[in-house]
């Protein structure tokens, strides 16, 4: 029996699959990302104890999206192949105005997916934004056009930067820190990519969160809210250090005369409290 020759449709499908695989390989190679980086879907290496929860929610959302996409594309491609018109003489399939089961499916299925994603998001967000009495110390973050100030509340010292001289926020490793975010002018957003977390600074409002850095190192930070002409220069650095290094830095700020608290528009009178 003579071997069956592949159909034109089959050859096109194989060529498409090969091109897609080649494109994916080239994109991964030229991006400079490792396989591990690619599997995290653009997320940086986490540097806090809370970050794995955020990473899990992010990756779970992507997995769900890819599954839904694969099912939808699979159904579309199957419809293209199974119900295509094979010749000009072939009659068109029976036309219908509606199909109640299918319409019910594509109304209810997205609703279920949205509710499931919202429930996981609500669960994790409630835990990530909860304020506790377990924080070791408090940092007041002040955003202003066009830089940052950091008030080390318990120690009674501050550090402040300019667009030309970005400030550095020092944090002791493995110690839970409460951040109090304020703005003296317009909306800003405090974002440290390695923390996988950001929160807005809104004039007249105090936003707070707690986080525990668990990896020594230096990490970039920036404003994630388009706040004006010099927004691109609202950069800062985070140094996660040992407790002894942190204490030495606080001593340097005191020796430099940077005592008291940088004016925020709110008066932080004691650790963890505002008036």
Q: Which tens digits make up the pLDDT trace of 79-115? A: 888 877 777 777 777 777 888 888 898 899 999 999 9
Note whether residue 208 is domain-resident. Answer: yes
Looking at the fold, whether 75 and 151 belong to one and the same domain comes out as no
The number of distinct structural domains making up the chain is 2
User: pLDDT band for position 271 (50/70/90)?
Assistant: very low
Question: Has residue 17 been placed in a domain?
Answer: no
- By the 8 A CB rule, do 195 and 215 touch? no
Using the structure block, give the residue that is written with the tokens 């377990």: 134
Predicted TM-score of the model (pTM): 0.74
Residue 267 has pLDDT above 50, yes or no: no
- Number of separate helices (H) and strands (E) present in the chain: 5, 10
Q: Which of 19-23, 101-105, 192-196, 197-201 has the lowest mean pLDDT?
A: 19-23
Q: Which burial class, exposed, middle or buried, applies to 267 when counting CB atoms under 10 A from its CB (0-12, 13-18, 19+)?
A: exposed
Residue 152, H or E segment: strand 147-152
**Helical H runs in the chain?**
8-31, 35-39, 51-82, 100-128, 243-255
174 and 68 in a single domain? The answer is no
Q: Are residues 153 and 200 in the same domain?
A: yes
Per-residue confidence (pLDDT) for residue 143, from 0 to 100: 94
Same domain flag for 152 and 248: yes
Does residue 106 sit in the same domain as residue 163? Answer: no
**152, 116: one domain:** no
Say if residue 171 is exposed, middle or buried (CB neighbours under 10 Å; 0-12, 13-18, 19+): buried
Residue-number span of the structural domain to which 66 is assigned: 34-82+97-128
Are residues 168 and 236 both part of a single domain? yes
Between vectors from CA 249 to CA 219 and to CA 174, what angle results, nearest 5°? Answer: 55
Is 204 found in the same domain as 157?
yes
- pLDDT mean over 178-200: 94
2 C-beta neighbours (distance < 10 Å), count:
4
Check whether residue 119 and residue 183 sit in a common domain. no
Helix (H, G, I), strand (E, B) or coil at 103: helix
Alpha-carbon separation of residue 31 from 1, 25, 40, 42, 55 (angstroms): 49, 10, 14, 11, 21
Whether residues 221 and 176 fall in one domain = yes
Specify if 39 maps to a domain.
Answer: yes
Residue 17 pLDDT exceeds 60: no
User: In this structure, are 237 and 152 located in the same domain?
Assistant: yes
* Same domain (yes/no): 121, 217: no
Task: List the CATH number of the domain containing 153.
Answer: 2.60.40.420
In a domain, residue 90? The reply is no
Residue 112: the pLDDT is: 93
């Amino acid at each position: 029996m003579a071997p069956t020759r592949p159909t034109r449709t089959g050859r096109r499908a194989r060529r498409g699959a090969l091109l897609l695989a080649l494109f994916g390989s080239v994109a991964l190679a030229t991006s400079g990302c490792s396989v591990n980086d690619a599997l995290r879907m653009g997320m940086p290496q986490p540097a806090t104890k809370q970050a794995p929860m955020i990473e899990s929610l992010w990756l779970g959302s992507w997995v769900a999206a890819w599954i839904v996409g694969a099912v939808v594309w699979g159904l579309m491609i199957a419809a293209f192949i199974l119900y295509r018109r094979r010749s000009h003489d072939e009659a068109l399939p029976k036309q219908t105005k509606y199909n109640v089961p299918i319409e019910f499916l594509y109304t209810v299925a997205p609703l279920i997916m949205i509710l499931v994603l919202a429930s996981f998001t609500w669960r994790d967000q409630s835990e990530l934004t909860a304020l506790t009495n377990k924080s070791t110390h408090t940092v007041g973050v002040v955003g202003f056009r066009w830089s940052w100030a950091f008030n080390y509340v318990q120690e009674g010292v501050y550090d402040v930067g300019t667009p030309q001289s970005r400030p550095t926020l020092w944090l002791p490793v493995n110690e839970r820190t409460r951040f109090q975010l304020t703005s003296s002018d317009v909306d800003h957003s405090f974002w440290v990519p390695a923390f996988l977390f950001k929160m807005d600074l809104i004039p007249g409002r105090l936003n707070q969160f707690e986080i525990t850095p668990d990896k020594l190192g230096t990490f970039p930070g920036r404003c994630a809210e388009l706040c004006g002409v010099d927004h691109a220069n609202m950069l800062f650095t985070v140094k996660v250090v040992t407790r002894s290094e942190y204490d030495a830095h606080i001593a340097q700020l005191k020796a430099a005369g940077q005592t008291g608290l940088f004016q925020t528009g709110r008066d932080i009178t004691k650790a963890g409290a505002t008036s």
